[in-house]
């Protein structure tokens, strides 16, 4: 059987001081499409340690432009805080804007949401599935960082399944309910009801 991960390669690493702490940034590429991804690591761990990790898909609007239409920027910040508080951990930052549809298509989806579509309906109206992200590169990233057992910070059960299917031992899941605002309650409710994400729905009323 061919190895499904042969197109993923580690490129380089460097120190990355942040306002949260001193991280190391690791660069990776999918040579099948030249898509670039990064991992941020903090601290040290032994091979058998359970390492807290976050798989975070790029969200320019939330991560860099401070949008509160989603909870992405809030989750990114909380994940980095959790990693530093724990003393070690990894953030996998995947270049999969708009659940894989790309930035400009995401803006089109936002326009449809302004007209009353929910986030799933908007993607589907544009001809996409609700979520087309691929987590395959996570295997190469975690292997490179010598991470075998993880505590996964997520509300998305599909990420848990994806890691388990790749042979990563997901010891436990840590909910990351953070950044719920009046502007994104509808978005989060849709993720709960249509995509199976696990939120405390009391916060969404």
Question: Annotated binding residues, as ranges?
Answer: 54-59, 70, 72, 75, 97-99, 119, 154, 159
Question: Given this model, what pLDDT does residue 65 score?
Answer: 96
The whole-angstrom separation of Cα 98 and Cα 28 is 20
Question: Given this model, what pLDDT does residue 5 score?
Answer: 72
Question: Given this model, what pLDDT does residue 177 score?
Answer: 76
Catalytic residue among 30, 63, 118, 131: 131
Which domains are seen in the chain, by residue range? 8-96+133-204 (3.40.50.10990)
The yes-or-no answer on residue 131 being catalytic is: yes
The yes-or-no answer on residue 173 being catalytic is: no
In which residue ranges of the chain is pLDDT below 70?
Answer: 1-4, 178-179, 186-187, 190, 193-197, 199-205
Question: Given this model, what pLDDT does residue 180 score?
Answer: 77
Residues 6 or more apart whose Cβ sits within 8 Å of residue 88: 41, 42, 43, 44, 45, 49, 51, 52
């Amino acid at each position: 059987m061919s190895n499904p991960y042969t197109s993923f390669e580690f490129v380089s690493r460097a120190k990355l001081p942040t306002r949260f702490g001193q991280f190391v940034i690791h660069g990776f590429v999918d040579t099948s499409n030249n898509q670039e991804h990064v991992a941020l690591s903090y601290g040290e761990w032994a091979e058998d340690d359970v390492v807290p990790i976050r798989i975070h898909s790029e969200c320019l609007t939330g991560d860099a432009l401070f949008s509160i239409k989603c909870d992405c920027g809030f989750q990114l910040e909380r994940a980095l805080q959790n990693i530093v508080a724990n003393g070690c951990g990894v953030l996998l930052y995947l270049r999969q804007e708009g659940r894989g549809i790309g930035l400009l298509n995401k803006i089109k989806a936002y326009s449809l949401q302004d007209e009353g579509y929910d986030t799933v309906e908007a993607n589907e109206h544009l001809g996409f599935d609700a979520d087309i992200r691929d987590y395959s590169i996570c295997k190469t990233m975690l292997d490179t960082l010598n991470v075998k057992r993880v505590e996964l910070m997520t509300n998305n059960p599909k990420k848990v399944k994806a890691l388990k299917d790749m042979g990563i031992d997901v010891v436990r899941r840590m909910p990351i309910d953070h950044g719920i605002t009046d502007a994104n309650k509808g978005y989060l409710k849709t993720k709960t009801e249509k995509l199976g994400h696990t939120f405390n729905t009391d916060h969404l009323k």
